[in-house]
Amino acid sequence: MSKSDLLLVARIIDPKNVISIMLSDEMEMSGQIRSFLFHFRIDQFIRLRSLILMNVEDEDLDKFQKHIMKYPLTTFSISHRYYGIDNIRSLLSSIISPNHLRKFKFEGSNNILNEIQWPISCRLEHLTIGYECNWNTVYSILSHLPCLRTLILQDFYNNQFDEIIVTYAHIIQSSHLTSLSLNISSEITINDIESFLSLLPMLTHLRLIGQTPFTDTLLFDGSRWENFIQTKLLLLNKFEFWFTCYALDNQDCPTVESLIVPFRTPFWLELKHWFVKCDYEYNRKFHLYSIPIFQDNFYYPHRGATILHSTLNTVDNHATIIVNVHRLSLELSRITDESIQQHVRMTLYFQIDYFFSNK
């Protein structure tokens, strides 16, 4: 929105009737927050329920904080440009304390989240963390938020797991979390994941997206996942994942067929109706993933990443693959008819919020 548009809005909009505000100081909209503060008095938005601040600066944040306690916010999202930890921590504490908040998204240092004094009766139900987050932060959050139902970690990285689980395991076993999404940006093992998920028996939805190749091949073991889900996650009805690993130079190296076979049991196909695909790329990488594909960012490969072999756990190996993404990257100038060899047919249907074309 241009400054002239904002001036017009300020003339025709009654702040008392506004229930949701989204402000951004991202590169293409620099200065929008400060311009908004110039044209509006924050204390007039008495019915505000949802506030989203993107790339907000500390100086502007101070102005919101003076009046934030007056808003019975149910939704709040913030990403900050600078790292004034004390300012952010103070703001978050003031928003969380009244117990109106139900949905919260935070993009910033996990040190801030670790230092928040969560109220004992905090009723937060949906939490998204869009910055680096480790086991310590996850366990701390779950131990302080008994009403949490949905947890989305957009950049999760592994750290010293064993010491942390000993500290928190007895605290969060009563967790009522029903939906968990992890975008994993570091190495992780099946033991780490199983130990964590064992404490979340109420899960009905699980999404595990590997941003980097994993070395623990047990993550690709359909039989192990089947046994774990049947014993620990009895309520799970939606399981989405994307795992990648490199092919090993030895006789024990898996094949596309050996990886997909354990996912062809009645548990996967008849009981759960979960469909899985496995690709082997030109650059000696295996991709094992559920379909439809769910990723924040999806990169469609060019010829340099030719798929040499691909198969599904269903009879129809040429089924349409639906890709649900926020951002899609296509190298249009390099995609040719030969990009995928003749013996592999794959139809892709993309559902996207934003489209990017790399020239």
Q: Where are the domains of the chain?
A: 1-124
- Alpha-carbon torsion (48, 113, 171, 118), positive or negative: negative
Beta bridge partners of 107: 79
Residue 102's φ and ψ, nearest 5 degrees, are -120, -30
The percent of residues above 90 in pLDDT, for the chain, comes to 28
Q: Reply yes or no on whether the pLDDT at 25 is more than 90.
A: no
37-46, 101-110, 306-315: least confident range:
306-315
248: DSSP letter: P
Structure confidence at residue 317 (pLDDT): 56
Rounded to an integer, the average pLDDT of 252-263 is 86
pLDDT at 341 exceeding the cut of 60: no
Query: What pLDDT sits at residue 350?
Result: 47
Order the strands of the 75-80 sheet from edge to edge. 20-24, 50-56, 75-80, 103-107, 126-133, 150-156, 179-184, 205-210, 238-246, 285-291, 275-281, 307-312
Per-residue pLDDT band at 165 (split at 50, 70, 90): low
- Which range among 160-169, 177-186, 280-289 shows the weakest confidence by mean pLDDT? 160-169
Is residue 336's pLDDT more than 60?
Answer: no
Q: Tell me the C-alpha distance between 156 and 144, whole Å.
A: 19
Tally of helices (H runs) and strands (E runs) in the chain = 11, 16
